[in-house]
Amino acid sequence: MKSKLTNRQAEDDLGSHENTNLSRRGFMVTTALAAAGAGAAGLLAPSPAEGASGIEKTKNLGQGPFPAEGMALYSSQGPHKLMKFQRRALGPKDVAIKLQYCGVCHSDIHHGREHWRKENFPLITGHELAGVVVAVGSSVSKFKVGSRVGVGCMVNSCRHCGPCQSGMEQYCENGNVLTYGSKDRDGSMTQGGYSTFNVVDEDFVIDIPDVFDLAHAGPMMCAGITVYSPLRRWSVGPGKKVGVVGLGGLGHMATKIAAAMGAEVTVLTTSSAKAEDARRFGAKTVIVNAQGADLSKYRRSLDFILDTVPYQHDLERLIPLLKMDSTLCVVGVGKTTEPHQIGPFSLLRDRTSFASSQIGGIRETQELVGFCALHGIRPEITKIPMSGIDGAWTKVVEKEARYRFVIDMANA
């Protein structure tokens, strides 16, 4: 959360970069939408059933700007409402993506409800995008029309700082551009994936192999990579006992991925009804972490804990479960007004560490997709129509997602 605020701060400092990318606008598109087949044709000519919310025909669709529509919040209290807007014209390295699906991450709710910072409204959230490329800029080399792709939480970064150079754009020292609510290089505000269309620099686009249903691709772009990155960073594998706290979007992916890495997984859930699912995802042990439950028999049993809980909760219950020299990594990001507390002796007792981690780099996200393909890992999803977003948000907050809602753009 702090890092996201830092990103915003850094973005504000990036005004001097804006001109470079404005100049991209005049470039020719090498591949026209006309070549995009049925998907693009549907985009150009909405069916009568789409009615007033259908995408209007516009000239120049081949190179953009592209008409799009999405579900926007107009205030932190508000329900989502349809918003029509334009995606930028293609720059040389841009790909135009007809979005088919977008996962619903708890971070969307934190942003939309202003748990972390003041937002600029109207705001379209969503950073688990999946779709098909329908046009490419003149210098695009990694994708072509028809490529199946995903986009996660970032759509640009400085490219030259140390973290960017080492493929960790999420820690860009000059501020990366987030997929929504972020100042883009041209000064405009980015809008996210609860929408029909996007234009993204190819360096921030992930290739989705054919083995995946596109509906499963989105949740890998944030939930998947956010847990994969720390599991790798803290060398989770055979012989390691790993705790996963919170069985939601991130937690269920963490359980599957850690188990596939060869670790012995313990899930800590506040929802006893999820115990069976946790085992099906690969957990050997399930602890129902109800308030006041006695966890003493699990003391010093875990080599690593990945905590995905999205609100303030009692970390003092979790730290004693770690063996000496082990790490509690909290990837859940609560409200800035309700920070976590760790007592002065809590880490000292077993020389344990408290850590955090932010999504993952582009290269690493592509690696995660390969890992999921290799191990047959898929998120557990529930498809919803665009009009179902508000209801889905309520269910997510009530811990009722099983385990990721995914918006189906074809279903208004």
User: Could you list the residues that contact ligand NAP (CB under 6 A)?
Assistant: 105-107, 110, 222-223, 226, 246-251, 269-271, 274, 308-311, 313, 331-333, 357-359, 396, 399, 401
Q: Is 107 in the site for Zn ion (CB under 5 A)?
A: yes
Q: Is 105 in the site for Zn ion (CB under 5 A)?
A: yes
Q: Is 278 in the site for Zn ion (CB under 5 A)?
A: no
Least gap, CB of 210 to Zn ion (angstroms): 25
CB nearer to ligand NAP: give 175 or 332: 332
Specify the pairing of strand 241-245 against strand 264-269.
parallel
Least gap, CB of 271 to ligand NAP (angstroms): 3
DSSP per position, 291-308: TT---GGGTT-EEEEEE-
Residue 161 interacting entry, from ligand NAP, Zn ion, none, C-beta within 5 to 8 Å by type? Zn ion
Separation of alpha carbons 118 and 181, rounded Å: 10
The residue among 182, 235, 185, 198 whose CA lies nearest residue 96 is: 198
Q: Is 55 in the site for Zn ion (CB under 5 A)?
A: no
Least gap, CB of 255 to ligand NAP (angstroms): 10
Q: Which element (helix H / strand E) includes 381?
A: strand 381-384
The residue among 67, 361, 92 whose CA lies nearest residue 229 is: 361
DSSP state of 195: B
Facing residues of 69 across strands?
Answer: 84
Residue 136 interacting entry, from ligand NAP, Zn ion, none, C-beta within 5 to 8 Å by type? none
Tokens of 133: 């490329």
CB nearer to Zn ion: give 231 or 287: 231
Residue closest to ligand NAP when measured from CB atoms: 248
CB nearer to Zn ion: give 33 or 130: 130
Least gap, CB of 305 to ligand NAP (angstroms): 14
Long-range CB pairs of 31-35 (<8 Å, 24+ gap) are 31/135, 31/136, 31/144, 31/145, 32/62, 32/135, 33/61, 33/62, 33/96, 33/134, 33/135, 34/62, 35/145
CB nearer to ligand NAP: give 309 or 368: 309
Report 222-241 residues binding Zn ion (CB under 5 A).
222
Separation of alpha carbons 275 and 283, rounded Å: 9
Q: Is 389 in the site for Zn ion (CB under 5 A)?
A: no
# binding residues, Zn ion (CB under 5 A): 9
Residue 172 interacting entry, from Zn ion, ligand NAP, none, C-beta within 5 to 8 Å by type? Zn ion
**What sign results for the dihedral spanned by CA atoms 27, 61, 366, 23?**
positive
Least gap, CB of 308 to ligand NAP (angstroms): 5
Alpha carbon separation from 77 to 110, 117, 327 (Å, rounded): 12, 14, 37
CB nearer to ligand NAP: give 34 or 355: 355
Residue 248 interacting entry, from ligand NAP, Zn ion, none, C-beta within 5 to 8 Å by type? ligand NAP
By the 10 Å C-beta count (0-12 exposed, 13-18 middle, 19+ buried), 247 is classed as buried
Separation of alpha carbons 168 and 173, rounded Å: 10
3-state secondary structure of 15: helix
Tokens of 29: 């598109």
Q: Segment near Zn ion (CB under 5 A), from 133-141, 201-209, 221-229, 286-294?
A: 221-229
Least gap, CB of 55 to ligand NAP (angstroms): 29
- Residue spans of alpha helices (H) in 50-119: 106-112
3-state secondary structure of 312: coil
CB nearer to Zn ion: give 158 or 208: 158
The one among 104, 140, 164, 401 contacting Zn ion by CB under 5 A: 164
Q: Segment near Zn ion (CB under 5 A), from 82-90, 97-105, 140-148, 338-346?
A: 97-105
Residue 89 interacting entry, from Zn ion, ligand NAP, none, C-beta within 5 to 8 Å by type? none
CB nearer to Zn ion: give 154 or 319: 154
Residues that bind Zn ion (CB under 5 A): 105, 107, 157-158, 161, 164, 172, 174, 222
